[in-house]
Chains A and B, each alone.
Chain A
Amino acid sequence: MITTLTQSQILGFSNVTVRIKNEARDSRPILEAIDLQLERGETLGIVGGSGSGKSTLLRLAAGVLAPGLVLDQGEVTTVGKNLLVATQAERSNIYGSVVALVAQSIGESLTPHLTVLSHFSDTVSGDVVDERVLESLAEVGLGGEKYLYRYPHQLSGGERQRVLLALALVRSPQLLLLDEPTSALDVSIGSEVLTTIDRLQRSRGFALICVSHDLGVVSQISKRIAVMNQGRIVELGQTSQVLRSPSHEYTKALVSSIPKLDQRIRESGSQNNETVLVCRGLGIVRGQTTRAIDSLDLEIKRGEVLGIIGESGSGKSSLLSAICGLVSVTSGSLHDGDGYDLSTALQMRPREVLSSIQMVFQNPDDSLNPMRTVAQSLSRYTQATNSEVSSALLSVGLGEQFLTRRPREMSGGEKQRAAIARALLAKPRLLLLDEVTSALDVTVQAAVMKTLADLQRKLNIAMIIVSHDIALVASFVDRILVLRHGQLVEQGSVDAVTNSPRDSYTRNLLDISARRATI
């Protein structure tokens, strides 16, 4: 049986429940009782944390169910058809011309050995190829023939995302499904891609579903928003309505967790004149010739929190790596507060110098040895006693039960907290945080940042926090540094940088951030 859609509707979910195959009936389903209709030409954003079921829902709209999942009950109707039971022939007719999906991973969605043009030849046939392809590439902002013969590795992240978009739109689908369209891109480039999508949607009038963990992204291109949590749609309504007056608890938490430029997470603490790090004319060269950092001057006092902002390739991670000794300094000087020369190789540094600078990395899945328990990971090199480990875990909000857990039994936020506890056990004077929350859900991010703020006040240690999110940094740090192509383009107190930015790149980031906050 197929639920009948009205003439104006393009997609219908009625009472859809999806479970993991062979799992007990009382376990929590992946999707639970989803009811959703989409009008032709309508734009819908789906937002939720990881594991909320948003990607499963999006794939189901394209008639795809991941292996290991079963449709327990309900029906999915896309343009009058149940795609789940459609034959291969019917599907290949529908894909591209009626429904098109742009998958999340831009790195893997293009075939490395095919040119941009070859990617199109499967979708468009005959002599019209070149014209149609040129036309749709121009529409997504990649005008000119030069892009036709490029290979994926010759394209930037933003260009790849645009090619994928052009591929999806070349056969003029009525429904476009986007999975995290900007999560792999820098903020400014992601914002440009979203503007393009918005423009195309307005001119072509296709219906659109955009899934993202980022409320800012979905609100920029969709009139309606569905908020998902644990497999359910907990709130559905007009974007402005949902953002301004959220009714469900989860939505409230989600909206309030988004970092805002004018809302401090951490109050500035007491600083004294004890310096913990000085660098003068610092230069770092990565590989053979790439200048990652070019003549940088920097000084950090005890208890001070410094934020570094920059897009990928700006050299912000290289700077952190050089400070902690993982990357060697090419020119200039780098000293700690006692005057110890930090340009010496890691192995040559005395133990107390090593412990005085600790770093927490971006990827929670990578920061703990998968074969060890948390207690083992935390005590192995810090030589901390059991009680020290427990109290360090407690200080980052993890109870005793985590001592014996292994990374696979923990969530991303918990792993990142354990990594912070491990860094603190070395009793550092300077803690380097490299995008520590960028892989986490917004609500989890807010909680981790809160923990970091408490720890910073209690221990009065200096921190350098690197992030692409200017609002997050502005709400946490005392001083902001903006890096671009390895050079310092802006530096100052939070107020000075956010109120009167001098550099155009900083202004652009602030604009994007402000736009998101006001939607």
Chain B
Amino acid sequence: MKTLLRLNFLKNRALIFATLGMHAFVALLAPYLRLSSTDSQDSAALLQGPSLNHWLGTDSLGRDVFSRLLHGGRPSLVIAFAATAISCLIGIVIGSVAALAGGWIDDALSRVIDFMLALPTLILLLLISSFFGQDPLILSVALGLMYASPIARVARSATQTLLARDFIRVARLQGGSRISILFGEVMPNVWRVMFTEVAMQFTWILLAFSSLSFLGLGASPPTPEWGLMIAESRSYMTLNPLLVIAPIMMLASLVLAIQALVDHE
């Protein structure tokens, strides 16, 4: 029992990096691997189990599940990266400006952050995507805006802590301007503190986009995407459980590996 407990997968560095490496490899190189087409339908082979031709079987339209699975992370990852970058940019700028300016500017920005935090993210995303369609750019910007507020809040308090530190005082005594102190002293250190928060945000955005796809408002068919794959196949779960289990495993392993890495650092 004790040895079993010691096999704590989330603390196994090699395993974390192997999982992340596998995901990076697949996401970057899936189009260049000699896989079956993700879209070609084989009406003679619907909902088949694993075979030599189709390693994980086929879905309800006779498409190769393995190939779709390897391609399925790309749309969510692209959007998650873009949205995280946007939320970081907005969040860190708002947060550190609020802390640096203080006074009524801080109050005003903090209330905006509070307001954003109070919005129900998923419902708002559903609204946006039903109004503006499933354009990846709009979705990235919307996700980026939605998820900027927690980053802004952490950035604000990180900046406040930093401002009380002596090396910032010395910079002021030696004539550093607010801007040069912000970018030269505060930002690099805020970024170091923010890494954890940002990595966690990335996983939340990844999950949010997959949830949208699952609800039919993220990636649009026939794009291979994990959330969408789960939605499309859940009626056939009993015929070929791999149809649902495989994309779930991919999504879960990626999210867990990122979170475990963050815990580790």
Binding site for B on A (CB under 8 A): 324-326, 346-347, 351, 354-355, 357-359, 361-363, 366-372, 377, 380-382, 419, 422-423, 426
Give the interface centre of B165, B175, B189 by most chain A CB atoms within 10 Å.
B175
The answer to whether A377 touches B174 (Cβ under 8 A) is no
Chain B residue numbers with a CB within 8 Å of A422 are 170, 174
The answer to whether B167 touches A358 (Cβ under 8 A) is no
The answer to whether B173 touches A324 (Cβ under 8 A) is yes
For A364, give the chain B residue with the smallest CB separation.
B166
Which secondary structure dominates chain B's binding surface? helix
The answer to whether A361 touches B166 (Cβ under 8 A) is yes
Chain A residue numbers with a CB within 8 Å of B167 are 366-369, 377
The answer to whether A367 touches B166 (Cβ under 8 A) is yes
- Give the distance in Å from the alpha carbon of A144 to the alpha carbon of B32 in the complex: 81
The answer to whether A326 touches B166 (Cβ under 8 A) is no
Expressed in whole angstroms, the minimum distance between the Cβ of A314 and any Cβ of chain B is: 20
B111 at the interface (CB under 8 A from A): no
CB-contacts of B134-187 with A (<8 A)? 165-167, 169-176, 178, 180, 184-185
Chain B residue numbers with a CB within 8 Å of A325 are 173
Known contacts A369-B188, A422-B170; can you find 18 more A-B pairs with CB under 8 A?
A326-B169, A326-B172, A351-B175, A354-B174, A358-B174, A361-B166, A362-B166, A366-B167, A367-B166, A367-B170, A369-B167, A369-B189, A371-B192, A372-B188, A380-B176, A381-B175, A381-B180, A382-B174
Expressed in whole angstroms, the minimum distance between the Cβ of A52 and any Cβ of chain B is: 26
Pairs across A and B, CB under 8 Å, 23 listed: A326-B173, A354-B173, A354-B174, A355-B174, A357-B173, A358-B173, A358-B174, A359-B170, A361-B169, A361-B170, A366-B167, A367-B166, A367-B167, A368-B167, A369-B167, A370-B192, A371-B188, A372-B188, A377-B167, A380-B171, A380-B176, A381-B176, A426-B174
Closest 7 pairs between A and B when the two form their complex, measured CB to CB: A381-B174, A361-B166, A366-B166, A371-B188, A367-B166, A354-B175, A369-B167
Interface contact tally, CB-CB below 8 A: 59
We find that the number of chain B residues with CB closer than 8 angstroms to chain A is: 18
Which residue of A347, A362, A419 contacts B170 across the interface (Cβ within 8 Å)?
A419
Chain A residue numbers with a CB within 8 Å of B165 are 366
For B184, give the chain A residue with the smallest CB separation.
A380
Expressed in whole angstroms, the minimum distance between the Cβ of A247 and any Cβ of chain B is: 40
The answer to whether B170 touches A346 (Cβ under 8 A) is no
Q: Mark B29-61, 1 if CB is under 8 A from A, else 0.
A: 000000000000000000000000000000000
For B188, give the chain A residue with the smallest CB separation.
A371
- Give the distance in Å from the alpha carbon of A313 to the alpha carbon of B26 in the complex: 62
- Give the distance in Å from the alpha carbon of A372 to the alpha carbon of B183 in the complex: 13
Chain B residue numbers with a CB within 8 Å of A377 are 167
Chain A residue numbers with a CB within 8 Å of B172 are 326, 346
- Give the distance in Å from the alpha carbon of A385 to the alpha carbon of B144 in the complex: 43
Chain A residue numbers with a CB within 8 Å of B175 are 351, 354-355, 381
Chain A residue numbers with a CB within 8 Å of B169 are 326, 359, 361
Give the interface centre of B173, B176, B185 by most chain A CB atoms within 10 Å.
B173
Give the interface centre of B169, B170, B185, B188 by most chain A CB atoms within 10 Å.
B170
Chain B residue numbers with a CB within 8 Å of A381 are 170-171, 174-176, 180
Expressed in whole angstroms, the minimum distance between the Cβ of B217 and any Cβ of chain A is: 41
For B177, give the chain A residue with the smallest CB separation.
A347
Give the interface centre of A347, A368, A369 by most chain B CB atoms within 10 Å.
A369
Chain B residue numbers with a CB within 8 Å of A363 are 166
Expressed in whole angstroms, the minimum distance between the Cβ of A353 and any Cβ of chain B is: 10
Expressed in whole angstroms, the minimum distance between the Cβ of B171 and any Cβ of chain A is: 6
Chain A residue numbers with a CB within 8 Å of B176 are 380-381
- Give the distance in Å from the alpha carbon of A357 to the alpha carbon of B169 in the complex: 13
Expressed in whole angstroms, the minimum distance between the Cβ of A144 and any Cβ of chain B is: 38
Expressed in whole angstroms, the minimum distance between the Cβ of B95 and any Cβ of chain A is: 18
